Amino acid sequence: MKNEDLHQKLNRLQIIRLPRWTDLPDLALYMDQVVGYINQSLNALSLDEITAAMINNYVKKEIVAAPIKKRYAKSQIAQVLMIALLKTSFSIEEIKQLMTVEMVHRNEKQFYDYFILTFLAAIHQLDEDYSPYEQEKNPAGTLVTATQQTLLKMACQSVVYKIAIGITLKKSAVDEKLAVKNK
């Protein structure tokens, strides 16, 4: 892939629009409607599609609240959207822990909007970090191409961030256990 192609693909991320809380359907949806809505909302990101079986698994593992009369409310749709984005890098157990840790500090509307805004900010930061595809920014000189440099930098940052999140989640779990023990 040429640097121009990579740059164009990264630029396309800049125009992605993810639904905020007020954009989510106000009416409860049946499973097939939820699957369609989620997949349509995330289509531009080229992620694996969400299936009814996946959503049932999230409910079973208590990451998503169970539907009421087979219908999913706005909060459950928001939960599935967040999981769909996070599952590209995290296990279901890690996602459950991450969502549980944060929900203590926010209501569901605030948490969801904060998540979406943070995700979009990360996309914009990506553009700032990787938009200059100049050879002089390549610390390895001609040993690797600018595209290879960009891909390696993103991969390494992804791993480092995943490690940092894991450490933070473990610390949060220990802190919670201590708080319960000290009560």
Task: Please state, in angstroms and rounded to a whole number, the distance separating the CA atoms of residues 122 and 110.
Answer: 18
Task: Please state, in angstroms and rounded to a whole number, the distance separating the CA atoms of residues 115 and 122.
Answer: 11
pLDDT for res 16: 81
Task: Please state, in angstroms and rounded to a whole number, the distance separating the CA atoms of residues 3 and 24.
Answer: 36
Q: Which residue, 95, 66, 77, is CA-closest to 24?
A: 77
In a domain? residue 147 = no
Q: Cβ distance 65 to 59 under 8 Å? A: yes
CA 156 to chain CA centroid, Å, is: 18
In a domain? residue 173 = no
CA 47 to chain CA centroid, Å, is: 11
Coil, strand or helix: which one is 159? helix
Task: Please state, in angstroms and rounded to a whole number, the distance separating the CA atoms of residues 113 and 47.
Answer: 20
Overall pTM surpassing 0.85 (yes/no): no
pLDDT tens per residue across span 117-131: 888 888 777 766 665
pLDDT for res 3: 57
Residue 86 has pLDDT above 70, yes or no: yes
pLDDT for res 135: 42
Range among 71-85, 143-157, 158-172 with highest mean pLDDT value: 71-85
In a domain? residue 141 = no
In a domain? residue 49 = yes
In a domain? residue 16 = yes
Which has the higher per-residue pLDDT, 154 or 52?
52
In a domain? residue 152 = no
Model confidence band, residue 100 (pLDDT cutoffs 50, 70, 90):
confident
Residue 22 has pLDDT above 90, yes or no: yes
Cite the DSSP H helix spans in 30-145. 31-42, 52-60, 74-86, 92-103, 108-130
pLDDT for res 123: 79
Phi, psi of 62 (to 5 degrees): 65, 35
Task: Please state, in angstroms and rounded to a whole number, the distance separating the CA atoms of residues 136 and 97.
Answer: 42
How crowded is residue 118: how many other Cβ atoms within 10 Å of its Cβ?
A: 9
Tokens describing residue 10:
């990264």
Q: How many residues does the chain have?
A: 183
Residue 61 has pLDDT above 90, yes or no: yes
Domain of residue 77 covers 3-134
pLDDT for res 134: 45
Residue 103 has pLDDT above 90, yes or no: no
Q: What percent of the chain has pLDDT over 70?
A: 75
Cα-only R_g, the chain: 19
Residue 1 has pLDDT above 60, yes or no: no
Instruction: Report the number of distinct structural domains present in the chain.
Output: 1
pLDDT for res 47: 86
In a domain? residue 130 = yes
Average pLDDT, rounded, for the chain: 81
In a domain? residue 182 = no
